[in-house]
Amino acid sequence: MAWGAPSRVQALYDLCRRTFPSPSSAAPPPASAVRAISSLMDTISPADVGLRDDSPGDGGGGHGFFESAFVKGAARAPRWAQPITYLHVYECDAFSIGIFCLPTSAVIPLHDHPGMTVLSKILYGSMHVKSYDWVEPTVLASNRQVRLAKLHADDVLTAPCPTTVLYPQSGGNLHTFTSVASCAVLDVLAPPYAEDAGRICTYFNDYPFSSFSSGRAKTVDSPDNYAWIEAINSPVNINMRPGMYSGPTVQDRLS
């Protein structure tokens, strides 16, 4: 990086600030703007955000529980469960930047991103990603309140790999992560979760297409590419804690 040039994290903030000026628009940003952010995120390394490969995120031990809009409705996980560490980089009403650090075998359950565009970059390690998009118009099972979704991805992603993007209605808006090897994921959420704006994280169970009567559901390809999705009403166990972000400071230029 040239002397005097902004850090890559600052450059990411500046680009997000221009791309997501406010949370008021329900429409995703232009494809060209998303490609620009993706291209920049592709260049970000663990060192750019103050991490080493396999870094736990804050260098500390212990087990805690972190409540945010993401884990609203989640229950306290068993004390012996390895925690997922969240590093807060920046957040405003229009977008947020953060990093999830997952130890091996940690799971972020199937959840959604209502009305949101999300860009994710694996900084190190590998994770299994399984994601779905709702089938439209809505299709419900004939004997249970479960909704049909189409599989978007079912893959193991290993760093370095391209940034992934999901949109409000496509790209795998419902997804679950399982850490295959200790990993960290840089996330940009636009706009972020906000309970007062109705952007609440909902958790789900998924069932094979054959689990329920399909009623009027028709699959245009293999039934294995579809699943029934059911919202979870009971609390979800997630052991998540805040960590200390030690990368370059972001200069807030919203004012």
Could you tell me the CATH number of the domain that includes residue 218? 2.60.120.10
Residue that is written with structure tokens 């190190």 in the block: 124
Which pLDDT does position 105 carry in this prediction? 93
Helix (H, G, I), strand (E, B) or coil at 211: helix
- Please give the average pLDDT of every successive group of 10 residues along the chain, which has 255 residues: 74 95 72 96 97 60 44 51 88 96 95 95 98 93 87 97 96 96 97 90 93 68 90 84 94 68
Q: Which domain holds residue 226?
A: 8-243
Tell me whether residue 132 is in a domain.
yes
Contacts of 253 (CB under 8 A, 6+ apart): 13, 14, 17
Tell me whether residue 135 is in a domain.
yes
Alpha helices in the chain (DSSP H): 8-19, 31-42
* Secondary-structure percent of the chain, ordered helix, strand, coil, rounded to 5: 15, 35, 50
Which pLDDT does position 72 carry in this prediction? 58
DSSP 203: B
Helix (H, G, I), strand (E, B) or coil at 122: strand
Which pLDDT does position 143 carry in this prediction? 73
Tell me whether residue 249 is in a domain.
no
Which pLDDT does position 67 carry in this prediction? 47
Tell me whether residue 3 is in a domain.
no
The predicted model scores a pTM of: 0.86
Beta carbons of 77 and 239 less than 8 angstroms apart: yes
Q: Dig out the tokens for 175 from the structure.
A: 């997804």
**Calpha distance 14→188 (Å, rounded):** 13
Tell me whether residue 251 is in a domain.
no
**Calpha distance 34→43 (Å, rounded):** 15
Tell me whether residue 93 is in a domain.
yes
Tell me whether residue 254 is in a domain.
no
Residues in the chain: 255
Number of domains in the chain: 1
Q: Dig out the tokens for 248 from the structure.
A: 């370059």
Tell me whether residue 213 is in a domain.
yes
Helix (H, G, I), strand (E, B) or coil at 48: helix
Cα dihedral 81→69→128→16 (10° resolution): -140
